[in-house]
Amino acid sequence: MNYRKLGTLTVSSVGLGCMGMSQSYGAPADKKEMRELIAAAVDMGITLFDTAEVYGTPDDPHDNEKLVGAALAPYRDKVVLATKFGIHFDMSLLKQGKSPIVPDARPETIRASVDASLQRLGTDYIDLYYQHRVDPQIPVEEVAGVMGELMQAGKIRHWGISEATEEDIRRAHAVCPLTAVQNRYSMMARAYESLFPVLEERNIGFVAFSPFANGVLTGAYDKNSVFAAGDMRARMPQFSAAAMEENGQLLALLQDIAEERGATCGQIALAWMLCKKPYIVPIPGTRKYSRLAENAGAADIALTSEEVAAIDARLETIPMSAVFGVTVTNITS
């Protein structure tokens, strides 16, 4: 494993997104197996672990923080623990055709959230604390002010924003410097590349979630793939039979490059972004040791700037399906 910086924070070039261990991909995974998987990640040199207060199971809506905190307890001083605040879910909104995500960044909510997360994680500080979604009712400057207070209190060491726009970033950073922005980013979701200039200007890192477009870019699925009950991919547009047909050229491109480099499609999808900018850190999730090792190995694949540019040029012309979570408004608003 090699390492890079998110602002001033040193992390492994590839992190581990832990949400899927508890939710969204069928039944929750076995906790003992996931603790062992997280320990294996540490042994591989992975240091960045990502969770959130709202990642959980039907029985425990905060399960993921407890799982991750317990698994990382023996390695606490060797890892970067990232979690998030600022949203809750109202599933009744789905009946109205609206997103069930409800932002809440009131200062009193943030202060209660950080204390609860510290308790669940079993730690006295959080390395990287993200605002999960920007709250249109609360100015980002006010949130940034609370982050500064939490840093002074020693409860958090760095902060970031997820799904943020350039305006959000500039306004927040002016009050309390951001360490990282975490947004959806992959070969199929590139609109946030428009943020790269401001990130470079302000020395802010970029953490990429869903770097495989929820698995499409691994090449492990096709038009006949069937997902288990509770697996959100069954409802994602990129996994429909028509979409898989539409994404055929993209997957063929990945396969060709992978064969040339003695790698996998997933490794090329990660290496492409790792070699594009030195401050991009993908956080793919997995429940399998083989995938974990594969993802970690992507950090050792070196693509030249010319190779990355050639891939980008192909991506501009290849047809692609719609991707879950990507809309015009969440990029430009």
CATH number of the domain where residue 98 is located: 3.20.20.100
Query: Does 202 reside within a domain?
Result: yes
- Give the pLDDT of residue 327: 61
- Give the pLDDT of residue 222: 81
Q: Following DSSP, what letter does each residue of 236-283 receive, concatenated?
A: -GGGSHHHHHHTHHHHHHHHHHHHHHT--HHHHHHHHHHHH-TTEEE-
Tally of domains in the chain = 1
Residue 189 domain boundaries? 3-213+273-303
Low-confidence ranges of the chain (pLDDT < 50): 328-333
- Give the pLDDT of residue 330: 42
Give, in order, the Cα–Cα distances in Å from 2 to each of 165, 183, 195, 196.
29, 22, 25, 22
- Give the pLDDT of residue 289: 97
Query: Does 330 reside within a domain?
Result: no
- Give the pLDDT of residue 7: 97
| Amino acid identity for residue 37 in this structure | L
Query: Does 176 reside within a domain?
Result: yes
- Give the pLDDT of residue 329: 42
Query: Does 285 reside within a domain?
Result: yes
* CA atoms of 164 and 329, how far apart (whole Å): 11
Query: Does 122 reside within a domain?
Result: yes
**192 is annotated as an active-site residue:** no
Give, in order, the Cα–Cα distances in Å from 21 to each of 27, 49, 144, 222, 286.
9, 12, 30, 23, 7
| Amino acid identity for residue 87 in this structure | I
Query: Does 326 reside within a domain?
Result: no
- Give the pLDDT of residue 328: 44
* CA atoms of 134 and 164, how far apart (whole Å): 7
Q: Pick the catalytic residue: 25, 55, 192, 279?
A: 55
Q: What is the pLDDT of residues 122-155, one digit of tens each?
A: 999 999 999 999 999 999 999 999 999 999 999 9
Cα angle 136, 142, 148 (rounded to 5 degrees) comes to 135
- Give the pLDDT of residue 219: 85
Query: Does 44 reside within a domain?
Result: yes
Query: Does 245 reside within a domain?
Result: no
Neighbours of 96 (CB within 10 A): 9
